[in-house]
Amino acid sequence: MVNADMETLAEQVAELIDKSQRLVVFTGAGISTESGIPDFRGKDGIWTKMDPEDFTIQRFVARPEVRKMQWKLLAEGGLLKDARPNIAHYAIAELEKLGKLDCVVTQNIDNLHQLAGNSPEIVFELHGNMQYVRCLGCHRRLPMAEIIARLSVEDLPECEHCKGILKPDAVFFGESLPQLVLSEAARRATQCDLCIVIGSTLVVYPAASIPMYAYDAGAKVVIINIGATPMDSKAAVRIEGKAGETMTKVMRQVKRKMSK
């Protein structure tokens, strides 16, 4: 496998997809960097430019100036401004259209899977979604665009229903992952027969447990990533490559097999 070329590896992945009855795709930051969204932990990642402590739930709640800083960042476009799905996102959406996809489990907060065409009900967002805002008081969930529109007259918006603190609906440091989402993602992983990891280093837990649940339950695991992961030795196919280029080759082979 180490010496196989990309086309051969793509064909192996396509063969696994063709035979699969319950496919789970697990995505991380590496799929979205190709949409212009910087990663967090890389050499030039977000945490080299910002203080991670400003993104702890404790500091966000305790310091109004931190909340003002974050809302200002969001009003200016934030980190996701103009981000659009790339060919890897569209490839995953195509897997759903072909009837080959059980669900997507993602570490990303960018809403790009839904924008590409995946049904929201089968996208499990382990770290939340920055297109929404949640009130920490009454737990109402509101569209981010609605709150951004208020920032022209409010530099620190609060909930209009209960006056509670509004927070981007992404998981901050110090917060637990949404338990219902995590539980359902884990359940589907244990029932799948194929798990394809795209663009994740598999080092952020508990999210990175999902592919291991699949493997432990007997599923084949495919890893498509730039850089090593702790699960490389367990992968049925391991591809060192960009998400978009790789998934384009994989989908070409999948459609060829399904047309026979």
Which of the residues are catalytic? 127
Residue 131's identity, in one-letter code, is Q
Q: What gap in Å lies between CA 89 and CA 209, rounded to an integer?
A: 22
End-to-end CA distance of the chain: 26
C-alpha 13 chain-centroid distance? 21
Q: Which two tokens stand for residue 147?
A: 């709150």
Burial class (CB in 10 A: 0-12, 13-18, 19+), 181: middle
